[in-house]
């Protein structure tokens, strides 16, 4: 014997689907659909709809994440090239602003691995810029000077990584 009528079952179905129905309602609907063929079909349709929607949402999130990563990577490479080309020139104080941003972008891309990935990237790129003569201020820098500049930038980069990492951690906790 059914506790609820088909009409009540149909009214409750959307609530059950959205996960906002009370436990009693969910039980009543489940009991009803085991005995009522017509409502069972409705119920199964609703459930498959949910199952189809979930992967789509995940796909969209995945796409968005990939886009953010690609955008961050482009911005990071631009920042690295621009910032390092200023080394030992008069405008090099801009790097105290650029390097923390590079660190934050590095965190978006590499998470905590950015702690060593970004300094390594800076070292490689600064050597390359020096080798190709792209630096604005100075002619050829000795390797010791490159190491020194990358060391100074690394401090600023790590600050950016730390801030981005802590913000990410706080945001995740809040959710």
Q: Which residues of this protein are in contact with Zn ion, per CB under 5 A?
A: 6, 9, 36, 39
Closest separation in Å from C-beta 36 to Zn ion: 3
Torsion sign across C-alpha atoms 141, 142, 143, 149 = negative
What residues have CB less than 8 Å from 31, skipping those under 6 apart? 2, 3
- Judged by beta carbon, residue 5 or residue 113, the one nearer Zn ion is 5
CA atoms within 13 A on the CB side of 37: 0
What residues have CB less than 8 Å from 114, skipping those under 6 apart? 103, 106, 107, 157, 161
Spatial distance between the Cα atoms of 80 and 170, rounded to a whole number of angstroms: 27
Closest separation in Å from C-beta 15 to Zn ion: 16
Closest separation in Å from C-beta 43 to Zn ion: 9
Closest separation in Å from C-beta 50 to Zn ion: 20
Tell me how crowded residue 162 is: count the other CB atoms within 10 A of its CB.
16
Closest separation in Å from C-beta 41 to Zn ion: 10
- Judged by beta carbon, residue 33 or residue 104, the one nearer Zn ion is 33
Answer for the pair 103, 164: CB distance below 8 angstroms, yes or no: yes
3-state secondary structure of 141: coil
Q: Taking the mean position of all CA atoms in its chain, how far away is CA 29?
A: 39
- Judged by beta carbon, residue 3 or residue 65, the one nearer Zn ion is 3
- Judged by beta carbon, residue 9 or residue 98, the one nearer Zn ion is 9
- Judged by beta carbon, residue 7 or residue 90, the one nearer Zn ion is 7
């Amino acid at each position: 014997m059914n506790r609820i009528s088909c009409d009540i079952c149909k009214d409750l179905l959307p609530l059950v689907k959205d996960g906002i129905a009370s436990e009693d309602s969910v039980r009543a609907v489940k009991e009803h659909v085991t005995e009522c063929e017509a409502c069972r079909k409705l119920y199964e349709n609703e459930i498959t709809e949910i199952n189809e929607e979930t992967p789509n949402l995940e796909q969209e999130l995945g796409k968005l994440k990939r886009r953010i990563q690609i955008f961050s990577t482009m911005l990071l490479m631009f920042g690295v090239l621009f910032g390092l080309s200023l080394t030992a020139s008069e405008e090099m104080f801009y790097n105290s602003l650029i390097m923390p941003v590079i660190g934050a972008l590095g965190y978006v891309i590499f998470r905590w691995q950015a702690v060593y990935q970004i300094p390594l990237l800076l070292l490689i790129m600064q050597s390359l810029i020096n080798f190709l003569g792209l630096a604005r201020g100075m002619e050829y820098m000795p390797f010791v000077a490159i190491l020194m500049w990358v060391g100074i930038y690394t401090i600023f980069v790590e600050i950016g990584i730390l801030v981005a990492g802590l913000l990410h951690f706080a945001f995740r906790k809040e959710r």
